[in-house]
Chains A and B, each alone.
Chain A
Amino acid sequence: MSAALWAPLVAAALYLLALAALAEVVERRPRLAALASHPAVYGLALGVYATTWSFYGSVGFAAKHGYAFLAVHCGVALSALAIPLLWRPLADLVRRLRLQSVADLLAYRYQSQAVGAFVAGFLVLALLPYLSLQLRAIVVTGAQLAPEAPPWLGLVYVGMLSLFAALVGARWADVPGPASPRRAGLLVTLAVESSIKCVVLLVIGGVALSQVFGGPAGLSTWLDDHPEALAEMFAPVREAPWTAMCFAAFLAVFLLPRQFHVAFVERPTARGMRHAMWTLPALLLALNLPLPILFWAGRAGAVGSAPPDLWVAEFAARHGLGLVIFLGGISAASAMVLISSLALSQMVVHHLVLPAVDQRWALPRLRLIRRAVIVGLVLAGLAVHLLSRPRTLVDLGLVSFAAIAQLAPGVLAALLWPRATRRGLVVGLLGGVAVWTTVTFLPLLDPALAEAIHPALGEHSASAEGFPLALWLSLFVNAGLFAAVSLTAPPRPEEIEAAAACAQQPPPGGRIPALVDVDELRGRLAEALDPPTIDAVLERALAELELDGDERRPLHLRRLAEAVERALAEQLGPLTASALLAGPLAGAPTRLAAELRFLEERGAAQVSSGIERALEVVRSYLSRVLNELPLAVCSIDQGGELVLWNRALRELTGVDTEVALGGRLADLPAPWDRLLGERFAAAGQGEARLPVAGGPRILRLTCTALAPPTREAGADTRGELGAVVVVEDLTERRALLAELSHRDRLSSIGRLAAGVAHELLNPLTGMVMVAKNLLRDAEDDGPQATAASLELSDRLGALLREGGRIQGIVRTLLDFSRTGSASAEAAPQVEAVAVAELASDAIDLARLARGREVELRAELAPKLLLRTDGPRVTQILVNLLTNAVDASPDGAAVVLRAAAAQDGEAALIEVLDEGAGIDPQLADRVFEPFFTTKDPGEGTGLGLAISHRLAAALGGSLAWRRREPRGTAFCLRLPRAGAVTLDPVSSSARAPLEGDRS
């Protein structure tokens, strides 16, 4: 064979190898892979719409229908303007549900594996002519380039294409998902192929313009000279199926499996979609601009007698560009075959293979199965090419366009009509497909059948002439049956849920039963997946959600299950993945926690309607109010999961909102797990004391069941929406109440004491007067006084001193009871008093008061003077000493120690005992009036209270501290009257004082 014979074959092989290498390089280099997210790449990749139909067939179509050939691209330009209206919602839906094809979308929305299988089978059948169109174009143009080539060389081209699709395309099917860098190679490859075919056509068009017409001016002159050539382009438009073709192209550009895959499954960026509104029409404009010039060049005789479908190839071959145009055609065909077989293989595997075979067998062999399906599809296209009658390229394409339009009612209803049902879709599809098969598909295969079905059109039934009938009639039957049957019966619950998910309402995760831990999820997956696959899927989902393998919070486990479901949906299809995750408990209502989480997450998203915006404002406002409420609030849904955990509760418990939400009460740290859990179980109201540093906290917990607003009054609603628990911290309130109660009690006691003191004072005054009279009588004896009378005088003197002290105490008690302040009425008589004198008197009196074997001694700094009221200080010291004696065991020592304070401004007088000390629980009550630990009748409980108040009235303070190893020290601090030279008592060496409230 000659080199000219092999050149196209070698060039095609090298071209396909170069494409595979390009994909590999792009995927290996992150900077090149980043190109895939560039808007221009998305727009160019969408140019896979333009196949050999556009590349070769448009000129042939123009020869019959003039400018009507533009309709299949004008419809695309119109569809691109509808990107915000139709494409973007579909892209969001596909991204959220991780769908891989239009069959996945319909199977998911209508919750029917049968729908998925039917759509997959129908699309394979409908697109085989389209696939065969690509193969035919390659075979024919290859043969044109090398007329002496043997017929089997066409099969070699087909084999190369199928091999390319199987080896290069299938690996993208093996690694679906937005995180995979391998997707970048696919988009960049498609963009490069679009660029090549566009550049090739522009070059050929430019050559035609310059070589045939001598430039634009020459073209104008030629058209002026040949008005029939211009009329040949314009006139047929009036008769051509312009509107039907525009409409079919409008739908096909996003519903054709390859277009659906590039437009939605490849996770376009918002920027890419936005720019596609003009980049895609611009690309197609550039592709179409040379076509009329090439057509007129053919009319001008530049291509001899070749059929119009081959004018482009013939013209290029005559001008030495045969190999270039052939590679352009290979580019258009290989891109279409690659992406179509990839998209169709996903449908076939998800909806025809996996549901029909044992998944444990099939899943490890998915890669092999996909490759086999891809090769099978390409070979089936070849079979159609070999078996069907020779047709124009456009005729084959239009048959597929009419078929694709049958998907439009189901897809648009998935976006816009929640009432649509599976039954309606199936009946509508069956009706539409029946019409399509009868009117256009069968005539494509058998001309005799075409004559019988449509005598007026005859064999043109399956061409552009018959296209409007095929499109409008099939769509009318399809949509009519779909709507009518859908309205006859309500949708099933799972369809309602799927419709809600499609309409961005609460998520489908509610179908997944609650999980206890990750291992349970692993066990559920093990029913169909092998361990390495399970590990890979779980690891990816855990990493995506930033969770650990020991996660136990229900909400987070459900999110994990949803992530696993989405990941598996890419590999297995949405229904198979959903069935695997949902298990036998599918159909459970969506959890409140999941619904609220959905709303929270959606809150930041754009809202589309005024009502939605208003509801979002209200929801956000109420959520803010609940969160900022100064009352600690949490709510638990019907499954025991925490739904709300506001800021006050977070501050009270120290448990972070992110940790608490979505978990169970039992997962909370102690003691909140027990406190809240018990209250949730028991409902109603209860109190709890919480031992914390700084004293116990008193909490009141109130649990109220939440009922749906539509429940009838009196019905048992507990648990239907869960419950709300309010936690109130009563510690401060209780302390305030206790203080008020205490003051009230003191007030009552004060009034009683005032009465008693008043009654005591009168007889006491009488007794003192009698004693004074007796003393005066005894002293009147003068020198005759006997020893007995002298002793009597001493004792009467002591009696009078004690009587006077009693009067002072009673008056102080009166003051205390009347005003609560010892200094209110009886102002202290302040003078300089020696501490030694006061200490001596106090010790003497204490000895008199207590006749126990307890040593009383003083350790006093010399010349220590106080500026104070002496009798009152004596009263304080006597109280302290008698208490110390009472607290001390026999043989112990009570020490009265006095020294200057460290600051030099005051004196510290301490009374130290060796008693058992003060119980810590009673520490707060030491200076409380009428509080005593002595036996009944042994003490009134007023001594320390009075002393405390007296000290305060004297400008000092009284406090106490524990002594080590035992005993108590009461410390009286009073203002000094002069300096001393003693070493001061170091307060830092002592234990801290307690009870100093002054």
Chain B
Amino acid sequence: MAATSSDSKARAALAVVVGAVALTAGRALWAADDAPWWSPFALWAALLAVGVALARLDRPAPGEADPTDPAARDREGPT
């Protein structure tokens, strides 16, 4: 089911807040001497996964045309 604009914005706002908190917390975590060298990249990968999830939730319903896509416009003719 296609996400409405308000749902999409609410999810994005939540993700940004969680991401900002995670980055701040990560900074404190890295102060520990025994953090693996790849831990900053793991946090980054987590942000990436959130981005993938948001993109999937934000996708339009099947058959719904994207008016900003020139290829879709060409397929469907002038609107």
Q: Write the residues of chain A forming the contact surface with B, with a CB cutoff of 8 angstroms.
A: 34, 37, 67, 70, 73-74, 77-78, 80-85, 95, 178, 223, 227, 230-231, 233-235, 237-238, 242-243, 246, 267-271, 274-275, 277-278, 281-282, 285, 288-289, 292, 546, 606-609
Contacts and interface: CB of A to CB of B under 8 A. Distances in A.
Interface in B1-30: 4-6, 8-9, 11-13, 15-16, 19-20, 23-24, 27, 30
Contact of A271 (B13, B30, B40, B66): B66
Interface string B52-79: 1011001110000011111100000010
A271 B47 contact: no
Contact of B33 (A80, A231, A242, A246): A231
Given A84-B9, A95-B68, A231-B33, A238 B27 contact: yes
A77 B15 CA distance: 11
Contacts of A268: 68
Contacts of B13: 82, 85
A608 B4 contact: yes
B31 A77 contact: no
Contacts of A235: 31
14 contacts: A70-B40, A73-B44, A74-B44, A77-B44, A178-B70, A230-B33, A233-B37, A243-B24, A246-B23, A269-B68, A270-B67, A271-B69, A277-B54, A288-B41
Interchain residue pairs A-B with the least CB separation, the first 6:
A278-B51, A277-B51, A84-B12, A84-B8, A85-B12, A269-B69
Interface string B31-54: 111010100110111011011101
A67 B30 contact: yes
Contact of B5 (A178, A238, A289, A608): A608
Q: Which of A234, A282, A285, A608 has the most CB of B within 10 A?
A: A234
B15 A270 contact: no
Contacts of A74: 23, 43-44, 47
B48 A84 contact: no
A285 B48 contact: yes
B40 A81 contact: no
Nearest to B2: A606
A84 B15 CA distance: 11
B69 A37 contact: yes
B51 A81 contact: yes
Contact of B55 (A242, A243, A274): A274
B4 A81 contact: no
Contacts of A234: 30-33, 35
B16 A274 contact: no
B16 A237 contact: no
Nearest to A81: B15
B6 A608 contact: yes
Which label, helix, strand, loop or mixed, suits the secondary structure of the A interface?
Answer: helix
A67 B23 CA distance: 12
Given A178-B70, A285-B41, A278 B52 contact: yes
A268 B70 CA distance: 10
Contacts of A81: 12, 15-16, 19, 47, 50-51, 54
Contacts of A233: 37
Contacts of B52: 277-278
A67 B40 contact: yes
Given A77-B51, A238-B27, A271-B69, 5 more contacts: A78-B47, A84-B5, A234-B30, A274-B59, A278-B51
A78 B26 CA distance: 14
Contact of A289 (B4, B41, B58, B70): B41
Contacts of A606: 4-5
A944 B31 CA distance: 117
A546 B78 contact: yes
B9 A78 contact: no
B31 A238 contact: yes
Contact of B11 (A67, A84, A238): A84
A277 B55 contact: yes
Contacts of B67: 270
A230 B20 CA distance: 24
A271 B72 CA distance: 11
B66 to A, nearest CB: 5
Contact of B19 (A78, A546, A608): A78
Nearest to B32: A234
A27 to B, nearest CB: 14
B48 A223 contact: no
Contacts of B5: 84, 606-608
Contact of A281 (B20, B51, B59, B78): B51
Contact of A83 (B12, B23, B47): B12
Contacts of B40: 67, 70
A233 B23 CA distance: 16
A82 B44 contact: no
A601 to B, nearest CB: 11
